[in-house]
Amino acid sequence: MSTSPVDALGYIAAVLTTSSFFPQALKTLRTRDTSGISLGMYLMFTSGVVVWALFGWITGDGPVLVSNLITALPAGLILQRKIQSPR
C-alpha cells in the first residue's frame, strides 16, 4: 500500500481540521471562559458534523463517518459549556 503526495496532503488537512477542536475544548473546560464563544457557531457546527457523520454512515464512507464522530466530541463539549454558562 502506498500513499501519493496528493493523498498525504488530504490526510494532513484532515488531521489538522479534525484535531483543531481539541485545544479549544481543553481551553474551554479549563478556563470556563465562554464569553467570546459564539453559540450560533457551535449550534451550527455541532449539528453539521452530526449530519456529516449520518451522511458517511448512510453512504458507507468510513473516513467521513469516523472523522466527524471524532470532531463531534470536542464540538459538543464546547456547545454544552456555552449553553450551561452563556457569559
Residues in contact with a second copy by the rule CB under 8 A = 6, 9-10, 12-17, 19-24, 26-28, 31, 33-38, 40-42, 44-45, 47-49, 51-52, 54-55, 58-59
Place of cell 459538543: 76
> If 0-12 CB within 10 Å is exposed, 13-18 middle and 19+ buried, where does residue 79 land?
buried
Tell me whether residue 1 or residue 16 sits nearer to a second copy (CB atom).
16
CB of 61 to a second copy, least distance (A): 10
CB of 13 to a second copy, least distance (A): 4
CA angle centred on 67, ends 58 and 32, rounded to 5° = 125
